[in-house]
A and B are shown apart, each in its own frame.
Chain A
Amino acid sequence: MHPVVKTVLERLGLGLATLFFVSIIIFSAIEMLPGDFGQAILGQAALPETVAAFRQELGLDKPAYIRYFDWALGAIQGDLGTSFSGRNASGADRSAEVVDKIAPRLWNTLFLASMAALIAVPLSLILGILTALYRNSFFDRSVNTATLTTISFPEFFVAYILILFFASLNQIFPSLANVDPDTNFGERIYRTALPAFTLTLVIVAHMMRMTRAAIINLLASPYIQMAKLSGASQTEIILKHALPNAWAPIATVIAFNLAYLVVGVVVVEVVFVYPGVGQLMVDAVRTRDIPVVQGCALIFAVTYILLNLIADIIGIVTNPRLLHPK
C-alpha cells in the first residue's frame, strides 16, 4: 500500500476513535450540568409535581449508561433524538427532531463561515506572501501592525466599531443580520456583510502571520540558497520553491481558523442577532435541552476532527519527502 494512503487511513481511524471518546466526554459533561429541563423551562413557576411529570415523560428517570447507548446508537444512524422543548404531556406533541432544529441553523452558520473564509483565506495568503516578499519594509510593518491590532481586540469590540461606522453613523449595512429561510441570496450576503467582516478581521492575522513565518523560515534553507544562486527571481523563489514546502503549517492554521468560524462565533452571532448554531447551543444549555446540546457538541467535534484530518492530509500530500519515500 502506498504510504500516503496508509497514513490517511491511519488518521481516519484515529479520528473515529477520538470521536468516540469525545461523545463520552460530551455525555458525561452534560450529565454533570446542574439544574433540570423542567426547572429551567418553568423557571420560578416550577412545582415539584410538574417537574416530575416532565422528567418521566422525557425518560430522564432511566440510568445514565442506558441513555448514553440509546443516544450514541441513534447518532450513528443520523438520528440525534427529539428536542425537549415543545413537549407537553396534556397537548399535542410539537417537539422538533434535533436534526430539524439544528439543520437550518447549521446552514446559516456554514453560510457565514464560508463567506468569512472566502474573504479571509485568500486575503491572508496574499498578504502573507507579500509581506514575506517585502519583509521588513514599511508595507510589511503596517500590515503586521494592522492585523495584530484587529486580532488583539475582542470580537464584540470589533463588531461594535463596525456597527458604529457602517450601521449607525453611516447606514450602509444593517446592524441586524436576521436572515430566515426565505431570504434570497443577495439579501443574505448584504445582511451578513458586517458579521463576515468582523470575523475576517479577527482571523486574518493568525493565518497571514503563519504564512509569512513559514515562508521566511524556508528562505534560510540551503535549497533556496541554491535556487537563488541559479538566478531565480524573488517571486519565483517564493511561489515555486518555498510555498510548496510551507503548505503543511499553513493548512493547519487555516483548518484551525475554519473550525473556529464554525464553532466559536457565538459572540458575533449575539451581537448581530444572527440565527446560527452557536446561539442555538447556548440557548439549549441555558434551558437544559440536552438532546440539542449533545447534537451541537457532536457536530462541533466532527467539524474539528474533519478539518484537522484534511489539514493533515494536505500536509502529507504536499510534503515532497512523504510523497517520494526512498
Chain B
Amino acid sequence: MKDKFIKAQQEKLTLGAIDRRQFMTSAIAAGIAIPTALSLASDAIAATPKKGGKFRMGLGHGSTTDTLDSGTSENHFTLVNGYTFGNHLTEINNEGKLVGELAETFESDDGKTWVFNLRKGVEFHNGKTMTSEDVLASYEHHMGEKSTSAAKGSLSPVRSIKADGKYKVIMELDSPDTDFPYIVSDYHISIRPAGDMTSGVGTGGYIVQSFEPGVKSVLKRNPNYWKEGAAHFDEVELLSIVDPNARQTALISGEIDAMDRVDLKTINLMKRNPNINIMQATGTAHYTFPMRLNVDPFGDYDLRMALKWAVDRQELVDKILLGYGAVGNDIPIGTANYFHNSDLPQREFDADKAAFHYKKSGHSGKIQLSAADAAFAGAVDAAQLMANSAKKAGIDIEVIREPNDGYWSNVWNNDAKGWCACYWGGRPAETMMFSAAYVAESKWNDTMWKTTDSAVKFNQLVKEARKELDESKKRDILYECQRLIYDDGGLLCPLFNSYVSANSKKIAHGKIAANWDSDGAKCVERWWFA
C-alpha cells in the first residue's frame, strides 16, 4: 500500500504535478526516513525529461548510397534517421507494446479489413496537414508493380487501400492477419506528403537541415511536433562513424554523446571510464545457421537433429558474444516476443544424442558449413567452434570461409550452399517472423522447410494464427508452430545477440526498447540531457 502511494507520488513528481517539497512531506508522512525520501525524489527528478541541448550520436553504419527515401532504408543509420524525422501509422513503444502513432486508433472485426483512424491536426515539416491522401500516396510508393521499395514484400498481402474521408484509411488484405498493425510500424513505411516521398519531409520530431549520405545528418527540433513528451533536444547531429575504434574514441573524448555497437573486445576498458554508461538490450535479433532441406544431406531429419545437438550454445555465447546475449533454442522467436514458447526444453550440447541421430541418418564424410563475417561479427569463429564440438560427437564439419563480398547473393539463401551462417533482426510479432522466412511462399525461406509433414502443418497453423482474434487460442497455435520448427525445421539458432551501446552519463532516458538497437532506433526522440 505504502509502496503504491510512494510510487504514485513519484510519478506526480516526475510529471511535475507536485514539487520536491510536497513529495518530501508526503513521503515523510508515509513513514519514510529522510535520506531514503531524498534519494527517491532525485530518482524521480532525473526521470523528468528536460528540453534543450545538441545531441551528437555516432552510428556504426551509413554509406554514400543512403537516401532519405524510406523504401531503400537498409542500415541502422537510415533507420535511426528515418524514425527521427518521420512517423508511421503505428509504433512499438519502449515497453514492446504496439500503439497508434499517426493512426490514433486502428481496428478490425475479421482481421481482413483494417480501419486506421488518423490523428487530426498533424503537420508535415512543409506546413501541409497530414490527411488520408498522404497515407495513400505513401503506401502506393511501396506497393506498385514497379516499386523498388524493400517493403514491397511485407505489403504484398494488401489487396486494396482506400480513403474514407480525410481522416480514415481502410486496408483490405488477401487473407486475415491479426498482426497486420505490426507490419505498418515497419521503418520502411514512413508517412510522407503526397508527391514527395524522397526529400525527407515528414511529420517527425526533428526537421532535416542537411543530409550528407555516409557522413552525417543534421536536424533541428520540430516546434510543431504533435507527440507529447517526445523530442527533447534542440539540435541533433547523427554521424556515420563506421570504425568502432573511432566511435569509441569520439565518445571517450566527448565529441559525441552516444554510440551504438560497442566493440565487445574492448568493452571492459570502456566500462572503466567513469563518464560512460554501457547499455544492453536482448531483443528479437538472433544469429542462425539455416540448413536447406532441398540440398543433400540436410533433407534428412536425423542429420538435422544430430547437428542441432552437436552445438555447444553456451560456449558460443561466452566466446562469440562475450556473454552479451542469450542461448537460442532453434526457434526464431525470442524471450522478448509476447508468445515465446518457454515450454520447449532448452537444447544443450549432447554428444550422445548427436552421435545417435548421426548414426541413424547413415551419413558419412564431411558436412560443409559456409561462413563469412558478413553474416555477423564472429560468424567464422562460431562455425569453427561448432566444428570442434561436433567432432566430439563424431561429426565432421568442414568450415568454408566465404568472401564477405556478395555473401547475401552468392552464399545465403542459395542452393549452391546447403548450410551457411545468417542473422535476423527478428520481428515484433511471431507471425511476421514466420512470414519473413519460414512459411512456404516466402522468398527468404532460407531453410526451404516446405514439404515435410510438419512443415505443411506449420503453414496451415500460421494461417490460422493470423485469423485468430482470441488471445489464448492464438497462444496455443503459435506455441505449436514454434514446436514444429524446433523439432523438424532446418533452423539451427544457437544465439540471441544483445544490442550493446554506450552513452555519456549526461544522457538520461526511460526504459530502453529491445525491438531495435538504440532504444528501438527511436533514441533521438526519446532521450534527453539530464
Listed in ascending order, the chain A residues whose CB lies under 8 Å from chain B are 33-36, 38-39, 41-48, 50, 53-54, 57, 84-92, 94, 101, 160, 163, 167-168, 171, 174-176, 178, 180, 270-273, 275, 279-280, 283-284, 286-287, 289, 292
Contact = CB atoms under 8 A, between A and B. Distances in A.
A88 B410 CA distance: 25
A291 to B, nearest CB: 12
B246 A273 contact: yes
A280 B214 contact: yes
B279 interface: no
Contacts of A273: 239-241, 243, 246, 250
B489 to A, nearest CB: 19
A9 B196 CA distance: 54
Kindly state the interface size class of chain B when it binds its partner. Answer: 35 or more
B5 interface: no
B255 A43 contact: no
B150 A45 contact: yes
Interface in B31-75: 63-69, 71-72, 74
Contacts of A43: 74, 408
A178 B239 CA distance: 9
Contacts of B216: 178, 180
B212 A180 contact: yes
Given A34-B406, A178-B215, A279-B214, A90 B243 contact: no
B152 A86 contact: no
Given A34-B405, A48-B443, A85-B67, A180 B215 contact: yes
Interface of B: 63-69, 71-72, 74, 140-141, 144, 146-150, 152-153, 196-199, 210, 212-216, 239-243, 245-246, 249-250, 252-256, 403, 405-406, 408-410, 412, 443-444
B274 to A, nearest CB: 14
A94 B214 contact: no
A85 B74 contact: no
Nearest to B218: A180
Contact of A94 (B67, B74, B405, B412): B67
Nearest to A84: B65
A176 B198 CA distance: 30
A128 B198 CA distance: 56
Contacts of A84: 65
Contacts of A92: 196-199
A160 B249 CA distance: 9
A271 B213 CA distance: 18
B409 to A, nearest CB: 4
Which of A94, A101, A178 counts the most B-chain CB atoms under 10 A from its CB?
Answer: A178
A39 B146 CA distance: 16
Contacts of A50: 147-150, 152
Given A160-B245, A180-B212, A271-B245, A90 B148 contact: yes
B249 A86 contact: no
Contacts of B72: 41-42, 88
B345 to A, nearest CB: 31
B406 A35 contact: yes
B250 A176 contact: yes
Contacts of B408: 39, 43-44, 46
A36 B342 CA distance: 41
B405 A35 contact: yes
Contacts of B241: 176, 273
A176 B243 contact: no
A283 B210 CA distance: 20
Contacts of A88: 67, 69, 71-72, 148, 197-198
9 contacts: A35-B406, A47-B152, A85-B65, A90-B149, A91-B197, A92-B197, A178-B216, A180-B215, A273-B240
B409 A35 contact: yes
Contacts of A94: 67-69, 198-199
Nearest to B242: A270
Contacts of A284: 64-65
Given A47-B152, A85-B64, A176-B239, 16 more contacts: A39-B406, A39-B408, A39-B409, A42-B148, A44-B444, A53-B146, A85-B67, A86-B69, A89-B146, A90-B197, A92-B196, A94-B69, A171-B254, A273-B250, A275-B215, A279-B214
Contact of B65 (A57, A90, A91, A283): A283
Contacts of A292: 64
A41 B73 CA distance: 9
Contacts of A272: 246
A286 B65 CA distance: 10
B249 A163 contact: yes
